[in-house]
Structure 1
Amino acid sequence: MGIELLWLHGVYVLFVIGIILVMVLRKDTSLISIVGIAVLGFVATGSVTTAVGGIFGSFIYAITELLPTILVICIIVAMSHVLTDTGVNETMIRPMTHLVRNPTLAYWVIGIVMMVISWFFWPSPAVALIGAVMLPVALRAGLPAIGVAVSMNLFGHGIALSGDYIIQGAPTLTAKAAGIPVSDVISASVPLVIIMGVVTTAIAFWYLKKDMKLGVLASPKETVVPDAVFTSARVPLSAGVRRALAGLVPVLFILDVVAMFAFDLRGGDATALVGGTALLILIIATMLAHKQSGLEQVTTHLIQGFQFGFKVFGPVIPIAAFFYMGDSGFIKVFGEVLPQGSHGIVNDLGVALAQTIPISKEVAALTVSAVGVITGLDGSGFSGITLAGSLAQLFATALGAGAATLTALGQIAAIWVGGGTIIPWALIPAAAICGVDPFELARRNLYPVAIGLLVTTIVAMFLL
């Protein structure tokens, strides 16, 4: 690498460290992220005007990447407002309160359901499907909203996405990069995914229970959702109409699930189906409740949803914009300033790390895991798993074995970090549906995920 390129990568690493330290200190990261984007632009181009303009360009790029998630969250929140105002939520929730009677059951039941649905349709649509129905049930059972978000996040964006056994998008990418069959990666990932999942979710639950006992997390029964929320409606509906809507909402979402499976809808298509269904429910419920003023109330509820969505995303966009500069976003914003053969700042750093460490089973496992973590810092999870597969092939060739295990390890590390458990903007769906701060959710997930990765990496060393 040339001197300028070394400067560029060094600046990126320094700001990454700075952002992590700011998060640990529980401070906002917007300012340091914006300064980081400007400094990266200036180091890469030598132009002050390009660097300053790059700040705005990076925001546009980040918003464009996040827009589908923003929209579906806004619409889901708007729909939830209507269902709450009309008392439909209460009617839907009442039968389910008998199934989840305490915080422990709420945490594990929601997590397992989230995991199973995410295997088939990926986590983002599953968050929308599960959160709108199960959050109030969990709150009534005594599990704080942050606990619901942790459960959905770790089981969905962690366990389900890192294994990806049904859709097989992740293992296909890593297997091709490593030059081995997909089935080998899936088989090798099973024990690692189980270990990572059990350790992480158990530690996260232990932290939740401890904080609840110490009073750090207030009881939602007392402070978040008092009984009045569940026993009164601002816009009364007749009992028959309310029961009809309470039955219609889950039926429509179940039909979404059937349609996703029948028509092979995944990722963005599945999210769009859920968002469109939520919008139809919003319209139907609003028109039935408000009648003559329904046209105006539909707009009012949409405005409420958009206000909530952009309020949540406001502090996230700057930090997302910075980390997108570590991947393809840098070229989109600042042009072709990286040298030929570069795969982006983050991936270049991963390659440099692998090339500077001597090879052994222990070092190979630690390096692949570390590279997975580093490439996951862009918040994608999938952008760096091909690099993890390539490095796994390299180390396996040197060791003479272990390609599948190393590939699975790199895949798990990259997706648990970047797929949506400790990178704030990547875990926004669960945070927004539960109405919690994504940065607080990231901080709460940090120690369980870090411990889980350490244990999983150690186990991988013995499996090589």
Structure 2
Amino acid sequence: MLVVVLTMILRRNVVIPCIVFTFLIGLVYTGNLITAVQAVFNASLVAAKELFGIFLIISLMVAMLKSISATGGDELLVKPMSKLMVSPLVSYIVVCVATVIISLFFWPTPAVPLIGALLVPAAVRAGLPPMLGAVALALAGQAMTLAGDVIIQGAPGLTAASAGVATELVTWKGGLLTLIAGAVAIPLGYILNREDIRNFQHQKAETAATAEMSLPVGQAEEKKVDLTKGKFLVYLLIAAMIGVVVSMFGFDIKGGDASALLGGVALLIMLVATVTIDGIGGFDKMADYVADGLVFAFKVMGPIIPIAGFFFLGNPEVVVNILGDGAPGFLFDVGEMVAKVIPPTGFMAAFGLLILGAITGLDGSGFSGLPVVGTLAGAMASGDANVAATLGSLGQLGAIWVGGGALVAWSSLVAVAGIVGVPVLDLVRKNTIPVIAGLVVATIFAVLFMM
């Protein structure tokens, strides 16, 4: 674990160390070279089985959005919001709200180009500096919404699986804590840049023209908008998603059942979209969309499989599927040793998991550290699911707020900066104080009220 964390600090991918140490642990534990080699494969296989549901739901949501975008439906989805851009403050709020709503259902990765290309230019015209548009996208989407991930539940599902607790427990705790962090960070991001807004308004015409010229995504691809089909699909999508949310609360659908409902709806909407747009050609197009979605999901999440496989060696419930019956949960043993020194319900443990999560986020992924913090949280909690979920949620916030795209310049924050046309290192500097303040407040709240 120390080598893995050090590798993250040095801004290198941790796949190689995880594979090497999976092999070494297998070799030392079994004393058999062949079994150790098999353990490398089995660890990844077990991780893939545990996590495939997350991969699948992400791929289906991305594929569904892509199927609708063929008619320009994605543009119609956000067009009404652009009419609300009447001032810098209102524009900032609209960009944040739109980013949160679309990111909740489609993940920030496809949502950010959509909002950045279609809403940020309107916000710039209303007097919002391009940099603040990028801050809104990063804090609301790449940080707050992704760290909670309460609809798709990819992040809490991964953390919960590693900690050995129910996904819904991590989902609501992580959702509440990231909402608190966002409630601090997002307003602070605006307040600290009021001077920039005043300066921008003095040179509004020239800067706005330059900013719009620097938004390549909005101009890179001309879509032929079919208003009739596009509106039908947008209304269908909105109605379906409202139905999903109402069903989740009305019928108490949680965890894997909620993901199954969302994934099934995504497939059905994709089917309707492909048949509506392509007719008989939809038979082939549907397969292309599903394949594109899976390619996207594995490209983004694929490296997590061997990483999760290594850390699953520390989970006593999973390690038996890798090293055989009787294998101990090594990391849980270490966690119990640490727990004897550090109380799992105090500020030291809470900030320790937050900082560890932030360190794991330095690789620019945000997700690769979730098996680390989840497993350690479960180990330190010594069987207390509430404490494990709280500590895991704090580690999840640290990993994703830092590495998911708010403070790491080599993460998906590059996409945010590129879409809006601002320097990524300047964006990191603008995000630093709001992010740290939000995470500190959320951690204090967790210690006082959730442990």
TM-score range (shorter-chain normalised) is: 0.5 to 0.7
The equivalent position to 2:27 in structure 1, one of 42, 50, 55, is 42
Task: Write the distance in 1 (CA, Å) between the matches of 2:281 and 2:292.
Answer: 17
Q: Distance in 2 between matches of 1:228 and 1:32?
A: 39
Tell me: CA distance 1:221–1:97, structure 2 relative to 1, closer, same or farther (3 Å): farther
* Contact residue 3 and residue 17 of structure 2 kept, 8 A: yes
Residue aligned with 1:329, SS: coil
**1:21 partnered with 2:9:** yes
Q: CA deviation at 1:57?
A: 0.6
Q: Give the C-alpha shift of residue 67 in structure 1.
A: 0.7
Instruction: Note if contact 2:60-2:294 (Cα within 8 Å) is conserved in structure 1.
Output: yes
Select which of 356, 379, 386 maps to 2:371: 379
Cα RMSD for the two superposed structures: 5.1
Number of matched residues? 382
Equivalent position to 1:251, from 234, 239, 259: 239
The Cα offsets for residues 235-267 of structure 1, whole Å up to 9 and x where unpaired, read as: x64x32332222111111111112212221112
Indicate if the aligned counterparts of 1:420 and 1:426 stay in contact, CA closer than 8 A. Answer: no
1:222 aligns with 2:210: no
Residue in structure 1 matching 2:272, options 284, 293, 307: 284
Matches within 5 A, 1:57-456: 57-99=42-84, 104-106=92-94, 108-110=96-98, 126-128=104-106, 136-142=114-120, 148=137, 150-152=139-141, 154-156=143-145, 158=147, 196=181, 198=183, 222-227=214-219, 229=221, 232-233=223-224, 237=226, 239-327=227-315, 328-338=317-327, 344-356=329-341, 364-367=346-349, 369-370=351-352, 379=371, 411-418=389-396, 421-422=399-400
Output the amino acid matched with 1:332.
N
Match of 2:420 in 1: none
Give the Cα separation in 2 of the matches to 1:331 and 1:446. 42
Deviation at 1:205, TM superposition (A): 8.0
Whole-Å separation in 2 of the counterparts to 1:75 and 1:356: 45
- The residue number in structure 2 matching 1:9 is none
Q: Which amino acid aligns with 2:32?
A: S
For 2:376 and 2:50, how far apart are their aligned partners in 1? 17
Percent of residue pairs identical: 25
CA shift in 2, pair 1:418/1:462, >3 Å: closer
Mapped contact 1:63–1:317 kept (Cα < 8 A): yes
- Secondary structure (helix, strand or coil) at the match of 2:371 reads coil
Contact 1:158–1:419 under 8 Å retained in 2: yes
How far apart are residue 42 of structure 1 and its match?
1.3
The answer to whether the 8 Å contact 2:331/2:375 transfers is: no
Query: In the alignment, is the contact (CA less than 8 A) between 2:145 and 2:178 conserved in 1?
Result: no
> CA 1:195/1:50 → structure 2, altered by over 3 Å: closer, same or farther?
same
> What is the identity, as a one-letter code, of the residue corresponding to 1:222?
S
Q: 1:146 to 1:245 in 2, by over 3 A?
A: same
List runs of 5+ in structure 2 lacking aligned partners. Answer: 121-129, 154-158, 200-209, 361-368, 406-410, 417-423
Residue 319 of structure 1 aligns to which amino acid in structure 2?
Answer: I
Question: Alpha carbons of 1:325 and 1:110: their partners in 2 closer, same or farther (altered >3 Å)?
Answer: farther
Corresponding letter in the other structure for 1:137:
I
- For the residues of structure 2 that align with 1:220 and 1:69, how far apart are their CA atoms? 36
Q: CA deviation at 1:338?
A: 4.0
TM-score by length of 2: 0.65
Distance 1:261 1:336 in 2: 40
Q: Could you tell me which amino acid in structure 2 is paired with residue 365 of structure 1?
A: F
Residues in 2 aligned to 1:456 and 1:259: alpha-carbon distance in whole angstroms: 29
Amino acid at match of 1:325: L
Kindly provide the amino acid, as one letter, of the partner of residue 370 in structure 1. G
Structure 1 residue 152: Cα displacement: 3.6
In the TM superposition, residue 56 of structure 1 has moved relative to its aligned partner by 0.8
Normalising to structure 1: TM-score of the pair?
0.64
- Provide the rounded CA distance (Å) in 2 between the counterparts of 1:74 and 1:322: 24
Give the conservation status (yes or no) of the 8 Å contact 1:128–1:274.
Answer: no
SS at match of 1:422: helix
Structure 1: where are the runs of 5+ without partners?
A: 1-12, 115-123, 165-169, 177-181, 394-406
Distance 1:385 1:15, change over 3 A: closer
